[in-house]
Amino acid sequence: MPEYGKGTSAGTAVAELGRADVDDALVRLAGKVLRTPVIRSEQLDAACGARLWLKAENLQHGGSFKVRGALLAVEHLAAAGSRGVVAQSTGNHAIAVALAARAHALPALIVLPDDAPGTKVRRIREAGAHVTFAGTALAERTAVVAELRERHGYDVVDPYNDPRVVAGQGTATAELLSQTAAQGVRLDSIVVPVGGGSALAGACLAAAGHGTRVMGAEPENVPAFTAAQRAGGPVTVPARHTVADGLRPDRIGDLPYALARPDSTRVLTVGESAITDALQTALWLARLLVEPAAATALAAALVHAREAGAGTDIGVLLTGGNVEPALVMRLLAHTAPAGRRPGRGTDAGALSA
Amino acid sequence: MPEYGKGTSAGTAVAELGRADVDDALVRLAGKVLRTPVIRSEQLDAACGARLWLKAENLQHGGSFKVRGALLAVEHLAAAGSRGVVAQSTGNHAIAVALAARAHALPALIVLPDDAPGTKVRRIREAGAHVTFAGTALAERTAVVAELRERHGYDVVDPYNDPRVVAGQGTATAELLSQTAAQGVRLDSIVVPVGGGSALAGACLAAAGHGTRVMGAEPENVPAFTAAQRAGGPVTVPARHTVADGLRPDRIGDLPYALARPDSTRVLTVGESAITDALQTALWLARLLVEPAAATALAAALVHAREAGAGTDIGVLLTGGNVEPALVMRLLAHTAPAGRRPGRGTDAGALSA
């Protein structure tokens, strides 16, 4: 596997990465991560007119799919004699690195944004990692990461620009493809949320040659992928607030951007109301608690389902379930549930593409 | 299989029913019901000190495990030339019979209590069944069922006193035992909620000879099984209100009572606060939306987990997920989620056994 960031360019790493790396990751992660279930909901299908296949990574160790890439990356560092790891993240990668470091008996330093959800901060500390807070923008966190790496001589586990992280995240999509194939279904498309881009890049690697279209979903308020497509490469976008805290990175990673086939990959942008509606839809119709980042993918999938129509099979990567109870309460109160048919809100035109 | 209720006593039916009937049901239901996933939660395990294995029947067709027994019973009636079916239920059996009748192109008449949740009423009607409301006590509903059967010449699908229904419900427990065994685990115990008793009776059939102890959980406010144990047989208890609408039958069915080994089976009674706390625990720690009946089993399992201690493997039958959004909102608001560590409420002494 290419050692990206150690003298290897994104272009070289992209050329060398492929589905075989995801298959290798599947083998290495076997028994260490959960093969999470794929959930169907007849009510959800009736509401959107297609068949949705929900990969429930909200039920994964650490509460998100990020443990896949983090375990793969930290396993490699530990084998290479690392003294400890440093990572920045809006939350889930941090939990994942903390858990992976504990599994390999390495110390972990985690840099979080000031507004990281308390639930995530708690889980990171429970895994024995040390937490530092640094502003709200990606650049602020990466500066602190660089400083901590220098001071301690630890290795950085990048949330996006690491081939192992991307290949690891790709195993969620690989499992989804294999679990649906086992039921005789070839997915027409898979929708994944886009923050730093590792889920999208991993999905593109995993689905290569499968005839399944990979689509992204990002908040209208942080359209980092769409802006990069427009600019012809990753750019930093103004960091407006989004409820999808997992999708707050204001710039796509170079490596995931290159892997995500930006010339042909479609990324839908999702409004804040549609994210909230989709979180409610997941809860009331599919009976799953997901975090807003995962709801962003579901929101986009519901829009895509209406375009694609009956008989279409759409996979949705429900990336995580680490969400504050208080935030859930606020989002559920967003429209009065009494008298309102659950899921109806997702019909509202709060989405743009 | 014995034709209970057609000249065959409960005792005779009990003597003739066994694990083989559950195995036969597994074969007949294959591909018609979901093999629902068994969910683990590291946070839940940490909170209770044992390993919990949650059988997520809230993700089942029709939103509850009841479709298992209903399909088996209606399939048999359809094959015998039935012209239509009548059923009474507090909700989930009714949805299940409506779906099963539709699958076999039979008309269905459903008798519900006046206070049946709107979500359940809607799902029954969506399945094409006709709904009649009748008071709040079991006796009121059974009287209307008898009248409808006479008038239309339809067949009754009893929610508890039917060997096929019991064997069908037992398949949920059989799957749980097989799914955990596939992971190298022999469950020490399985906790199931007790309303009319079909889940408990089915679990006893399925677990026969497995060395796994079957336990029940019923609301303190409708302790029909505990009262029957005390009286030496099924008795009608005063129907005090419980939030667990699925567990409102005020009398255990004769057949399930006889099958549930009342001399040795332990049934924990659960207070209303503990049911609410467990519903919150399922949502915040296991990320599953369950209905209060299922939460009743989880509440009892949490108490049992603390007695049984670390290293114990406890199965929990999360029987359903048909619950009103408005009720969920009310139950989640029951204690302020902000600042409160999720799941802590279940430590409160709101349970009695």
| Beta-carbon contacts below 8 Å between A and B | 70
| Domain final residue pick, B105, B136, B156 | B156
- Residue to test with chain B: of A54, A92, A287, most B Cβ within 10 A: A287
Fill in the DSSP letter of residue A352.
Answer: E
The average pLDDT across A333-353 equals: 43
- Residue to test with chain A: of B287, B289, B290, B322, most A Cβ within 10 A: B287
More reliable by pLDDT, A284 or A345: A284
| Domain final residue pick, A156, A174, A209 | A156
Hey, is the C-beta of A11 within 8 angstroms of any chain B C-beta? no
- Number of domain units in chain B: 2
Cα B85 from chain centre? 21
Q: What is the pLDDT of residue A334?
A: 80
Residues of chain B with pLDDT under 50: 336-353
Q: What is the pLDDT of residue B226?
A: 97
Residue among A59, A326, A340 minimizing CB distance to B287:
A59
Same domain, A17 and A95: no
Q: What is the pLDDT of residue B309?
A: 86
Answer yes or no: do A284 and B39 touch at CB < 8 A. Answer: no
| Structure tokens given for A66 | 């990020």
Same domain, A70 and A60: no
| Structure tokens given for A126 | 């429970």
- Residues belonging to chain A: 353
Answer yes or no: do B58 and A287 touch at CB < 8 A. Answer: yes
In a domain, B79, yes or no: yes
Same domain, A123 and A168: no
The Cβ of residue A218 has, within 10 Å, a number of other Cβ atoms equal to 30
In a domain, B350, yes or no: no
Residues of A in contact with B59 (CB under 8 A): 39, 41, 286-287
Residues of A in contact with B34 (CB under 8 A): 40
Hey, is the C-beta of B47 within 8 angstroms of any chain A C-beta? no
Same domain, B31 and B141: no
Answer yes or no: do B329 and A332 touch at CB < 8 A. Answer: yes
Are B336 and B287 spatial neighbours (Cβ–Cβ below 8 Å)?
Answer: no
Q: How far is B63 from chain A (nearest CA, A)?
A: 9
Cα A346 from chain centre? 21
Answer yes or no: do B326 and A332 touch at CB < 8 A. Answer: no
Hey, is the C-beta of A30 within 8 angstroms of any chain B C-beta? no
By three-state DSSP, how is residue B163 classified?
helix
Q: What is the pLDDT of residue B91?
A: 84
Residue among B41, B59, B333 minimizing CB distance to A287:
B59
Residue among A288, A325, A332 minimizing CB distance to B288:
A288
The average pLDDT across A309-322 equals: 95
Residues of A in contact with B340 (CB under 8 A): 325
Answer yes or no: do B287 and A321 touch at CB < 8 A. Answer: yes
Give, in degrees to the nearest 5, the angle at Cα A121 between A119 and A127.
105
Q: Nearest chain B residue to A326 by CA: give it.
A: B338
Same domain, B225 and B332: yes
Same domain, A183 and A311: yes
Domain coverage including residue B147: 66-156
Hey, is the C-beta of A143 within 8 angstroms of any chain B C-beta? no
Alpha carbon distance B238, B216 (integer Å): 20
In a domain, A2, yes or no: no
Confidence band for A16, pLDDT divided at 50, 70 and 90: confident
Answer yes or no: do B37 and A34 touch at CB < 8 A. Answer: no
| Structure tokens given for B2 | 């014995």
Same domain, B106 and B53: no
Question: How crowded is the C-beta side of A254, counted as CA atoms within 13 Å?
Answer: 8
Hey, is the C-beta of A332 within 8 angstroms of any chain B C-beta? yes
Q: How far is A115 from chain B (nearest CA, A)?
A: 15
Same domain, B216 and B313: yes
Are A107 and A97 spatial neighbours (Cβ–Cβ below 8 Å)?
Answer: no
Hey, is the C-beta of B84 within 8 angstroms of any chain A C-beta? no
In a domain, B345, yes or no: no
Nearest to A55 by CA among A231, A177, A196: A177
Nearest to A192 by CA among A110, A295, A70, A309: A295
Same domain, B208 and B324: yes
In a domain, A216, yes or no: yes
Same domain, A112 and A192: no
Answer yes or no: do B337 and A326 touch at CB < 8 A. Answer: yes
Answer yes or no: do B337 and A321 touch at CB < 8 A. Answer: no
Q: What is the pLDDT of residue B351?
A: 34
The Cβ of residue A309 has, within 10 Å, a number of other Cβ atoms equal to 9
In a domain, B214, yes or no: yes
Helix axes A292-308, A272-286, angle to 10 degrees: 90
Same domain, B117 and B237: no
Hey, is the C-beta of A58 within 8 angstroms of any chain B C-beta? yes
pLDDT at A116 over 90: no
Hey, is the C-beta of A294 within 8 angstroms of any chain B C-beta? no
Residues of B in contact with A61 (CB under 8 A): 42
Per-chain mean pLDDT for chain A: 91
Residue A332: CATH number of its domain: 3.40.50.1100
Confidence band for A150, pLDDT divided at 50, 70 and 90: very high
Are B87 and B144 spatial neighbours (Cβ–Cβ below 8 Å)?
Answer: no
Confidence band for A352, pLDDT divided at 50, 70 and 90: very low
Answer yes or no: do A42 and B61 touch at CB < 8 A. Answer: yes
Hey, is the C-beta of B59 within 8 angstroms of any chain A C-beta? yes
In a domain, A82, yes or no: yes
Residues of A in contact with B290 (CB under 8 A): 287
Alpha carbon distance B296, B135 (integer Å): 24
Q: How far is A321 from chain B (nearest CA, A)?
A: 7
In a domain, A4, yes or no: no
Hey, is the C-beta of B231 within 8 angstroms of any chain A C-beta? no
The Cβ of residue A341 has, within 10 Å, a number of other Cβ atoms equal to 13
pLDDT at A5 over 70: no
| Domain final residue pick, B156, B186, B204 | B156
Same domain, A24 and A129: no
Q: What is the pLDDT of residue B138?
A: 84
Answer yes or no: do B287 and A289 touch at CB < 8 A. Answer: yes
Q: How far is A283 from chain B (nearest CA, A)?
A: 7
Alpha carbon distance B130, B94 (integer Å): 10
DSSP string, A294-313: HHHHHHHHHHHHHHH-TT-E
Are A281 and A300 spatial neighbours (Cβ–Cβ below 8 Å)?
Answer: no
Q: Which of A8-22, A70-84, B264-278 has the lowest mean pLDDT?
A: A8-22
Nearest to B327 by CA among B284, B274, B289: B289
Hey, is the C-beta of A184 within 8 angstroms of any chain B C-beta? no
Element (H, E) at B11: helix B10-16
